[in-house]
Amino acid sequence: MATRWIAPQVRSLEELATSKWDREEAEIVLKYKDVVKQALLNAMKRARSCVLRYEYIYKEIYALIEDEDETWRVENAIYAILDGLKIDDIVAYKIYVDEDESIYDVFVVVFNELSNERIKMLEEIATLFATRFYYKFHNKEKVFYDATPIGAHERDEVYVTLHNLVCMWTYCCLEEEE
């Protein structure tokens, strides 16, 4: 698992669209800015969390855009530039879980920027996804058991920890839908 150890510089979508790096992707996302923003908000509401598996964002983008080819372009563009990206009042950070499988990446979507120290802490906790030996607590028996075969995407305790930290720092918890 790759870790960055330095928080990405937060850039606005408009700023990125005028830069020489990732310009094409930024222009695509800028064209669909409202859709992408809605996809992020929908994913947060559906998960009731600011810590999102990439698949949640992916599904929301596909649900909002009817043209499959255009959806594919937007989805690829957003994945390429979403790290340290500010879209209006939303800031998104990418935490790599598996270098080979983007579907397991985690995105932290917040309404204020996070400090380098906080992002470093989130990335350090996210390394638990790739831990070779893994133990799970059995609530009924009140003991730990070896759960090493559990895949990274099944390690819910890590998501819970990430979610709780982000909520503590940003008050991002969303109200339950009635």
In a domain, 1, yes or no: no
In the structure, what pLDDT confidence band is assigned to residue 73 with cuts at 50, 70 and 90? Answer: very high
In a domain, 2, yes or no: no
Instruction: Please give the tally of structural domains in the chain.
Output: 1
In a domain, 6, yes or no: no
Mean pLDDT for 8-17 is: 83
d(CA 152, CA 163): 16
Looking at the chain, the whole-number percentage of residues with pLDDT higher than 70 is 86
In the structure, what pLDDT confidence band is assigned to residue 174 with cuts at 50, 70 and 90? Answer: low
Residue 2 pLDDT exceeds 50: no
Alpha helices by DSSP H, listed for the chain, are: 13-17, 23-31, 33-47, 54-64, 68-81, 116-126, 156-170
In angstroms, how far is CA 36 from the centroid of its own chain?
Answer: 13
How long a stretch of residues is the chain? 178
CB atoms within 10 A of CB 27: 14
Q: Token digits for 74?
A: 């937007």
Of 88-92, 97-101, 136-140, the one with minimum mean pLDDT is 97-101
Residue 102 pLDDT exceeds 80: no
In the chain, DSSP finds a helix count (H) and a strand count (E) of 7, 7
Residue 177 pLDDT exceeds 70: no
Residue 150 pLDDT exceeds 90: no
In a domain, 176, yes or no: no
Indicate the SS3 state at residue 51. Answer: strand
In a domain, 114, yes or no: yes
Please tell me the predicted confidence (pLDDT) of residue 60: 96
- Domain range for 137 is 11-170
In a domain, 109, yes or no: yes
In angstroms, how far is CA 112 from the centroid of its own chain?
Answer: 15
In a domain, 29, yes or no: yes
- pTM of structure: 0.82
22: left (phi over 0), alpha (psi -120 to 50) or beta: left
Indicate the SS3 state at residue 78. Answer: helix
In a domain, 165, yes or no: yes
d(CA 151, CA 153): 5
